[in-house]
Amino acid sequence: MDDPVWATARTVELSYEFQPGENTPAPVRTQVMSLYNDEYLYFGVRCYDPRPQEIRANFSDRDRIYADDFFVVIIDTYGDYQRAYELVVNPHGIQGDLMMTSSGEDESFDMLWESAGAITSDGWTAEIAIPFKSLRFPDKDVQEWGVNFSRTYPRSSRFQFSWVPIDRNIPSFLTQSGKLTGLRDIRPGGSIELLPYVIGQQVGVRSNVVDPASSFSNGDILGRVGSGFRYSPSSDFSADLVVNPDFSQVESDADQIAVNTTFALSYPERRPFFLESSELLQTPMYYSRSINNPLFAGRIVGKSGGWSYMYLGAMDRNTAFIIPGEEESNTVATSLRSFANIGRIRYNFADEAYVGGMLLTRNLTGGHNYIAGFDWNYRFWNNWYFNGEGFLNHTKELSDTTLVTSSRMLGTSGRTARLDGEQFIGSGIHVVVYQSGRDYGFDAVYNDFSPTYQTYNGQFSSTNYHQFYFSPRYTLFPKESFFERVTLSMSGNYQINHSGTAKDKGVQPQLNLTMKGQTYLYLSYLLVNEELFRGVQFRGVNRTIAELNSRVLDALSFNIYGQFGEFIYRTSVPEVGTGHNLGVSMTLKPTSRLKIDLSYDRARLSSASRGTLFYDGYVGRMVGIYQFTPEIFLRSIFQYNSFTKTFNVYPLFNYKLNALTTFYAGLTNNYLDYGPQHGFATTKRQFFLKMQYLFRS
């Protein structure tokens, strides 16, 4: 910020505190300046602070800065309130980036841009440089973009400031922005990107995992190469191709407690290729991790006027899919190849309003799943929304009954869940009306999914039901109080199957408290909880749900979650049990470069009538990260699962020049507890190195 050129820049101030205040004067000054040339859009910010020693600023990996002080630039390049770039920087210049849409923020979004930051005697400063080739914007002589600036100032409360006032009666932050004008003669220049990678690995396994005395052998050192390619002749169109991609996970998925659940679990997507333009595919009918191990994949993304479109195709080497049901689902994992096609088109006709269509297909040898659907979103009366989606599917099953041993029926359709070559048609619809105002709000939802609805490209586990859901809420904003926000709500749920049998009824009062000290409390009680499960009618399955989290100190934050009371023990002969699901997590930051995450999740259930213990176990996890520089970190993960008696150790060294150019070296070591005589022994070990580099012109 010492460059004299900033003296020529236009300057604005963030004058409004919108959290916890309601457009009250910001207690500290924030100045934002902007400049541009043919290649870059620049922003500079001065964040004044009367007590700079209290600034929360940590060295971390990108997208890990949201507990710090930070500054945000929000840019809607088309000015149509459909999506906006959010570029975030903390006082050390560490980056975060998100994609904002009408349905929320996508933290998985990554973009190439530059930043720097410094803490000063009167606060902190930062500079941001955004290449125009990283943005999508219309091809015209004079640009007019929606823009807003925000600063988060975490102290006794999580203060947030804005350039423009934020109306709490308008639920969308996206539609509340100012204008960035005066950008002339900039062109959405084309670009070509090549992202080759090389990986080396050695895998060792125990010959008989149930016998700790069996031999452990290391395999050969293997190499693998592949590449990604992107061609963007303009910012309105891009084509991507990946060949032999390496979609291994740098960040491992934390174990989830899967006991006493009859439906498939889901995990977040972390693979960069599938995160691009994911805002167009925010539907449970599509779950990108169903494309498990692609040999190659391609994608086309474009925008023309109010139209947005996307196509994604992939050849999967190890096909996996879910067969949903009324009370359970089956996950089918195969070594079969399949080809997935996902087509998407959407027309944006007003602020936060669109209609769209989708086509999803999955073809396997001897089977397929085809889905056609439409969706819509419409905002009216300022803070009312009407949205939904509807789908039809045609499924031709594989003829391999060894893949699914369940003999369950798909409702009263006469079809079975076994893969016995049947063909059937299914349908589904999801409709929502909701209002979100400052003080009052409500959600009304209707779902209807036929017994034979299936999607091989999605994460959809439950079918054969009509569901009605309603939830009114009321919010208070006490003045000069320890409580900053108090929300009272009540949710009601009624579900019947397609035979007209009542399956689920529920009423749940809820309380949300936002307090001083960045502390939040949630309390609820299952006042009415009735369910018909496997022919047994359960009533009065009541329990309390609570969650508390706090960031009073920069060096310490915690979260405690629990459900306590009665649960249905979901076996072939179900019964009511008493117990709890408990989760505790804590983040320690001894220094600005070291972070330690600790978590403990426990589940316990005993028979309510007999006292017999059904299960009692936990998953413990520790993640330690030391950030040497903004580009280099060392991380170790330790995890123990008492249900499976497994212990995992995952050390990793990572050098990340930017979001896509990276080098890492690591080890995965899996142990199994064989009991008092043998203790822990390694069942699988993998050493790996990977380097990928982005070439961009």
pLDDT in tens, 304-354: 888 999 999 999 999 999 999 999 999 999 999 999 999 999 999 988 899
Tell me how many domains the chain contains.
Answer: 3
Alpha helices in 95-230 (DSSP H): none
Does residue 227 belong to any structural domain of this protein? no
Residue 279 pLDDT:
74
Rounded distance between C-alpha atoms, residue 434 and residue 472, angstroms: 9
Same domain, 345 and 453: yes
Domain range for 425 is 262-463
Alpha helices in 507-650 (DSSP H): none
633-692 tens-digit pLDDT: 999 999 999 999 999 999 999 999 998 899 999 999 999 999 999 999 999 999 999 999
56-96 tens-digit pLDDT: 999 999 999 999 999 999 999 998 888 899 999 999 999 99
Contacts 24+ apart (CB under 8 A), 25-32: 26/159, 26/161, 27/159, 28/123, 28/153, 28/161, 30/71, 30/149, 30/151, 30/161, 32/149, 32/163
Does residue 636 belong to any structural domain of this protein? no
What are phi and psi for residue 293, nearest 5 degrees? -145, 75
In DSSP terms, 651 is beta-bridged to 636
Average pLDDT, the chain: 93
* % of the chain exceeding 90 in pLDDT: 81
Same domain, 295 and 398: yes
Same domain, 552 and 414: no
Same domain, 34 and 130: yes
Please say whether the beta carbons of 414 and 420 come within 8 A.
no
Over 90: is that where the pLDDT of 248 sits? no
415-433 tens-digit pLDDT: 999 999 999 999 999 999 9
Over 90: is that where the pLDDT of 101 sits? no
Residue type, 353: A
Residue 76 vs residues 18, 37, 138, 162, 200: alpha-carbon distances, Å:
20, 19, 11, 16, 41
Domain boundary among the residues 159, 184, 209 is at 184
- H/E run at residue 87: strand 83-89
- H/E run at residue 685: strand 680-692
Does residue 10 belong to any structural domain of this protein? yes
Does residue 458 belong to any structural domain of this protein? yes
Residue type, 544: T
Rounded distance between C-alpha atoms, residue 2 and residue 9, angstroms: 13
| Mean pLDDT value of segment 182-197 | 87
Those residues with Cβ within 8 angstroms of residue 640's Cβ, 6 or more apart along the chain or in another chain: 619, 620, 621, 646, 647, 648
Residue 267 pLDDT:
65
What are phi and psi for residue 134, nearest 5 degrees? -90, -10
Does residue 518 belong to any structural domain of this protein? yes
Please say whether the beta carbons of 220 and 203 come within 8 A.
no
In sign, the C-alpha dihedral spanning 529, 533, 535, 541 is negative
Could you tell me the two tokens for 240? Answer: 């991507």
First to last CA, the chain: 28
Those residues with Cβ within 8 angstroms of residue 32's Cβ, 6 or more apart along the chain or in another chain: 11, 12, 13, 14, 43, 44, 45, 149, 163
Does residue 275 belong to any structural domain of this protein? yes
Does residue 410 belong to any structural domain of this protein? yes
List, edge to edge, every strand of the sheet that includes 10-13.
Answer: 10-13, 30-36, 40-48, 123-131, 114-120
| Mean pLDDT value of segment 607-613 | 96
Does residue 627 belong to any structural domain of this protein? no
Residue with tokens 């457009």: 23
Reduced to 3 states (helix: H, G, I; strand: E, B; else coil), residue 224 is: strand
Rounded distance between C-alpha atoms, residue 18 and residue 656, angstroms: 35
Same domain, 357 and 385: yes
* b/e code 252-274 from CB counts within 10 Å (16+ = b): beebebeebeebbeeeeebbbbb
Same domain, 325 and 374: yes
Over 60: is that where the pLDDT of 472 sits? yes
Q: What pTM value is reported for the model?
A: 0.91
Domain boundary among the residues 557, 592, 620 is at 620
Same domain, 304 and 424: yes
Same domain, 447 and 486: no
Same domain, 455 and 478: no
Residue 568 pLDDT:
98
Could you tell me the two tokens for 487? Answer: 């929300």
Over 50: is that where the pLDDT of 609 sits? yes
Rounded distance between C-alpha atoms, residue 31 and residue 387, angstroms: 39
Strand bridging mode 519-525 / 543-550? antiparallel
What are phi and psi for residue 133, nearest 5 degrees? -70, -10
- H/E run at residue 273: helix 272-275
| Mean pLDDT value of segment 390-410 | 93
Same domain, 355 and 266: yes
Strand bridging mode 384-396 / 423-436? antiparallel
Residue 2 pLDDT:
81
Residue 249 pLDDT:
47
Residue 501 pLDDT:
97
Those residues with Cβ within 8 angstroms of residue 241's Cβ, 6 or more apart along the chain or in another chain: 228, 229, 230, 296, 297, 298
Domain boundary among the residues 605, 620, 635 is at 620
Q: Is 70 exposed, middle or buried (0-12, 13-18, 19+ CB in 10 A)?
A: buried
Q: CA 311: distance to chain centroid?
A: 21
Same domain, 455 and 489: no
Please say whether the beta carbons of 529 and 540 come within 8 A.
yes
Over 80: is that where the pLDDT of 264 sits? no
Those residues with Cβ within 8 angstroms of residue 410's Cβ, 6 or more apart along the chain or in another chain: 325, 416, 417, 424, 451, 452, 463, 464
Rounded distance between C-alpha atoms, residue 407 and residue 426, angstroms: 20
Same domain, 33 and 173: yes
Strand bridging mode 519-525 / 528-533? unpaired
Q: Is 618 exposed, middle or buried (0-12, 13-18, 19+ CB in 10 A)?
A: middle
Those residues with Cβ within 8 angstroms of residue 174's Cβ, 6 or more apart along the chain or in another chain: 76, 81, 83, 84, 100, 101, 102, 352
Please say whether the beta carbons of 600 and 618 come within 8 A.
yes
